């Protein structure tokens, strides 16, 4: 087991921040999306004692402990705050529950009239617990480990708020946006404001960098992608960078496909998360040769292991060897992933096997 005691991880600077600052490192630093979670036995043990997923998120010492579990076990170069993108609508007053095996259930906002369900500000008792967790994590992290905070992009969060949970093609949000763009735009404005406030709170509490997860923009038609994905994310980036010019931002427009170039061009100062399906060939032309990228190992190969895993890791390494690169998955790690395969990944990316 790659078991790295926290006290042994001190070093000069943080490799992930170096890459986010534009440096190309000989071996890319790495972390994994969803690196704290159900594939880890220590997570499952703590989760079964703690009660609900939301209890974990809002109990600072438990959220801190879960955030640190994968750092202790694998020595990743970044810790990502253990929380969820739906904490924002919850802290704006909408009911939220995570049902076992079913995913999130959310109180809905489906029309302009219903915008009054949203509070003006994030509930300080809820987000305060998140910021307290960040302070606890900060105190325990090795100096070379970057702490990443996050929000969901407004479009992705809106799909849950309008549908009341996960939905296959997000037709409810897309219909409201198509029928009443001004009304839907007001919901998006509220989510932009709350995202800026929540990211600012996380930065003040001690995160080094932030990531904006836009999981569900890919299916939008180009004009809607520009209006509901690119513009809201650009407004968040602009306002956050004005207040915190030194805090790097990673944006992950998952499955943007042919719209990745437009996203990259509109957001010249963010690092780009690259999803599993995106090819590195031709990326220089689409996003520019110097752009910092993060990604994009297929999480399925991490379940498979063996040759498929080694070949995929080597392909990702060589694909991005010419630019500043943070090694990551192209989507969150899957629950059925064997621990031994994650150990193999870490060793191979570090050049040990």
Ligand X SMILES: Cc1c2[nH]c(c1CCC(=O)O)Cc1[nH]c(c(CCC(=O)O)c1C)Cc1[nH]c(c(CCC(=O)O)c1C)Cc1[nH]c(c(C)c1CCC(=O)O)C2
We find the least distance from the C-beta atom of residue 52 to ligand X, in angstroms, to be 8
20 versus 36: smaller Cβ distance to ligand X: 36
- Compute CA distances 243 → 99, 252, 259, whole Å: 37, 21, 29
Cα gap 191→89, rounded to integer Å: 8
143 vs 2: CA distance, rounded Å = 19
Q: Are 323 and 293 within 8 A, CB to CB?
A: yes
Q: Tell me whether residue 39 is annotated as binding.
A: no
Q: Which of 47, 110, 227, 254 is catalytic?
A: 47
Number of Cβ within 10 Å of residue 276's Cβ equals 17
| Residue 35 assigned as binding residue | yes
CB of residue 40 to ligand X, shortest distance in Å: 10
The answer to whether 216 and 155 have CB atoms below 8 angstroms apart is yes
The residue at minimum Cβ distance from ligand X is: 215
**Could you say which of 9, 24, 27, 38 is catalytic?**
38
Q: Among 43, 58, 131, 160, which one carries the catalytic annotation?
A: 160
CA dist 115 and 96 (Å) reads 17
First to last CA, the chain: 14
Least separation in angstroms between CB 251 and ligand X: 12
Q: Cα–Cα distance between 262 and 256 in angstroms, integer?
A: 9
Q: 11 or 103: whose CB is closer to ligand X?
A: 103
Q: Is 84 considered catalytic here?
A: yes
- If 0-12 CB within 10 Å is exposed, 13-18 middle and 19+ buried, where does residue 102 land? exposed
- CA-to-CA distance for 93 and 259, rounded, in angstroms? 33
Q: Is 34 annotated as a binding residue?
A: yes
Closer CB to ligand X, residue 158 or residue 323? 158
Q: Which is nearer to ligand X, 34 or 174 (CB)?
A: 34
Tell me the C-alpha to C-alpha distance, in Å, between residue 344 and each of 40, 137, 328, 329: 15, 26, 14, 14
Helix, strand or coil, per DSSP, at residue 339: helix
Give Cβ neighbours of residue 185 (< 8 Å, ≥ 6 apart): none
Q: Any binding-site annotation on 36? A: yes
**Closer Cβ to ligand X, 63 or 187, answer by number:** 63
Query: Nearest distance from residue 299's CB to ligand X, in Å?
Result: 10
Catalytic residue check, 47: yes
Shortest Å distance, C-beta 285 to ligand X: 27
Phi/psi of residue 271, nearest 5 degrees: -75, 150
Binding site for ligand X (CB under 6 A): 33-38, 47, 53, 80, 82-86, 98, 103-104, 150, 152, 166, 213, 215, 332
Catalytically annotated residue among 84, 208, 214, 298: 84
Check if 43 is active-site.
no
The residue among 57 and 323 lying less far from ligand X, judged by its C-beta, is 57
3-state secondary structure of 251: strand
CA distance 153 to 84: 12
Is 331 annotated as belonging to a binding site? yes
Q: Smallest Cα–Cα separation from 173: which of 233, 217, 120, 119?
A: 217
Ligand-binding site membership of 215 (annotated): yes
Shortest reach from residue 306's CB to ligand X, in Å: 25
Question: Is position 131 annotated in a ligand binding site?
Answer: no
Q: Residues annotated in the binding site for substrate, as ranges?
A: 34-38, 84, 160, 215, 331
Q: Give catalytic residue positions.
A: 34, 38, 47, 84, 160
- List binding-site positions: 34-38, 84, 160, 215, 331
């Amino acid at each position: 087991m790659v078991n790295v005691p926290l006290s042994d991880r001190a070093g000069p600077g943080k490799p992930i921040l170096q890459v986010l600052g534009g440096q190309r490192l000989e071996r890319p630093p790495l972390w994994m999306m969803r690196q704290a979670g159900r594939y880890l036995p220590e997570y499952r043990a703590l989760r079964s004692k703690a009660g609900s997923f939301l209890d974990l998120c809002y109990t600072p010492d438990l959220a801190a402990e879960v955030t640190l579990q994968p750092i202790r076990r694998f020595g990743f170069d970044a810790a990502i705050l253990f929380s969820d993108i739906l904490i924002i609508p919850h802290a704006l007053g909408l009911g939220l529950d995570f049902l076992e095996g079913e995913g999130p259930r959310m109180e809905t906002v489906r029309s302009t009239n219903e915008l009054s369900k949203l509070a003006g500000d994030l509930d300080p008792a809820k987000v305060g617990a998140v910021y307290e967790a960040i302070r606890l994590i900060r105190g325990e992290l090795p100096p070379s480990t970057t702490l990443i905070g996050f929000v969901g992009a407004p479009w992705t969060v809106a799909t849950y708020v309008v549908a009341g949970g996960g939905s296959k093609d997000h037709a409810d949000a897309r219909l409201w946006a198509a029928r009443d763009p001004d009304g839907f735009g007001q919901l998006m404005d509220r989510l932009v404001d709350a995202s800026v406030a929540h990211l600012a709170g996380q930065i003040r509490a001690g995160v080094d960098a932030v990531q904006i997860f836009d999981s569900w923009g890919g299916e939008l038609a180009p004009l809607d992608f520009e209006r509901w994905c690119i513009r809201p994310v650009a407004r968040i980036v602009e306002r956050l960078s004005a207040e915190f010019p030194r805090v790097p931002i990673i944006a992950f427009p998952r499955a943007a496909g042919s719209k990745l170039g437009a996203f990259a061009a509109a957001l010249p100062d963010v690092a780009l998360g690259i999803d599993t399906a995106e090819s590195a060939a031709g990326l220089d032309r689409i996003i520019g040769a110097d752009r910092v990228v993060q990604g994009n190992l297929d999480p399925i190969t991490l379940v498979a292991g063996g040759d498929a895993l080694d070949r995929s890791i080597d392909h990702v390494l060589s694909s991005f060897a010419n630019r500043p690169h943070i090694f990551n998955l192209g989507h969150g790690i899957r629950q059925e992933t064997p621990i031994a395969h994650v150990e193999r990944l870490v060793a191979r990316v570090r050049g040990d096997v």
